[in-house]
Structure 1
Amino acid sequence: MVNSLMLLAFEANGVMAMRMMKLMRGGRIARREAELMVSEKIHAALKASASLMAGASGDEIVRQYRRHVAANAKRLGGLKSGRSRKRALRRTHSRRHSGERN
Structure 2
Amino acid sequence: MSNPKNYPPSWFSVGMDAWALAAESNMVIAMRMGALAFGGPSALKEAERMVSEKLSANMALGADIVTGKLGHSPEQIMSGSIAHYSRSVTANRRRLGWE
Structure 2 length normalisation: TM-score? 0.76
Cα RMSD of the aligned pairs, angstroms, is 1.4
Which structure has more relative contact order (CA 8 Å, sep 6+)? It is 2
Which of the residues 46, 50, 53 maps onto 1:33? 46
Q: Which ranges of structure 2 fall in alignment gaps of 5 or more residues?
A: 1-13, 71-76
Larger Rg over CA atoms: 1
Q: Aligned residue for 1:62?
A: 82
SS of corresponding position for 1:10: helix
Structure 1 residue aligned with 2:92: 72
**Cα distance in 1, alignment partners of residues 94 and 57 from structure 2:** 17
Shift of 1:62: 0.6
Which structure shows the bigger proportion of residues in helix conformation? 1
Number of residues of Structure 1 aligned to a counterpart in Structure 2? 79
Deviations 1:25-74 (A, max 9, x none): 00000000000000000001001101111111221111010011000000
| Deviant stretches of 4+, over 2 Å | none
TM-score relative to the length of structure 1: 0.74
User: Aligned match of 1:22 in 28, 35, 39?
Assistant: 35
The percentage of aligned residue pairs carrying the same residue is: 41
Q: For 1:68, give the aligned amino acid.
A: S
Question: Is the aligned partner of 1:50 residue 2:63?
Answer: yes
- Distance in 2, matches of 1:27 and 1:76, equals 16
Could you list the runs of 5+ residues in structure 1 that have no partner in the other structure?
A: 81-102
